Amino acid sequence: MSGSTSSPDDVSRETPPAPAEAQGVFGSRLPLAEEFCRLLATEGVVRGVIGPREAPRLWERHLLNCAVVHERIPRGVTVADVGSGAGLPGLVIAIARPDLTVTLVEPLLRRTSFLEEVVAALDLDNVVVTRARAEELLGTRHFDVVTSRAVAPLGRLLTWCVPLVSPGGMMLAMKGSSAAGEIEAAARELRRLRRYGPGEPEVLQAGTGVVEPVTTLVRVAVVGAGG
């Protein structure tokens, strides 16, 4: 990968090995996940895409935690990952599920440059990187599934993501123990989005028996006519 201003050698030794659970999640594509982990722990840290303290715990805290989201995604659909950042969860999902077409939506050039280089390095033909804010795609793009992780409170996420969901699709937001409280706090935003036909938010889990704690998701199905 090009474009770094300093050597990643000082952090490369922190690249953690894949845990046993990773084989079950990624299968034959585990080498791609391992290379992504290496790139995150080296170039990703050097270029400020991920913090250096995260490098030793990339698998448990980030890669596996994100990858298990694919359990809740149907086969062969289009996915947009809003505020993709370092490619979490979108890029990890795309590695685990080559049947999906994944668009990584990220406004910052530093991050989109990194993502584009990772996609090229891993030869991921099911991933597109789009430099934009979610609001800039409203009315022009629709996806079967819209994912997000640690981007904004649920109310704001609903405003950004629900209009991007195709009729019959869903929004999947990675959340922690605050999920139920965020759903209550987002009631007003949900009402404002009635014309898109969102259903009631529900809390789901993914990764049972794979990650601890399990990954908590808020799912909002969209049944209306879309934006």
135 annotated as belonging to a binding site for a ligand: yes
134 annotated as belonging to a binding site for a ligand: yes
CA 182-187-193 angle, to 5 degrees, is 120
38 annotated as belonging to a binding site for a ligand: no
71-105 in b/e form (b: 16+ CB < 10 A) is bbbeeebbbbbbbbbbbbbbbbbbbbbeebbbbbb
41 annotated as belonging to a binding site for a ligand: no
88 annotated as belonging to a binding site for a ligand: yes
| Binding residue positions for S-adenosyl-L-methionine | 83, 88, 134-135, 149
| Binding residue positions | 83, 88, 134-135, 149
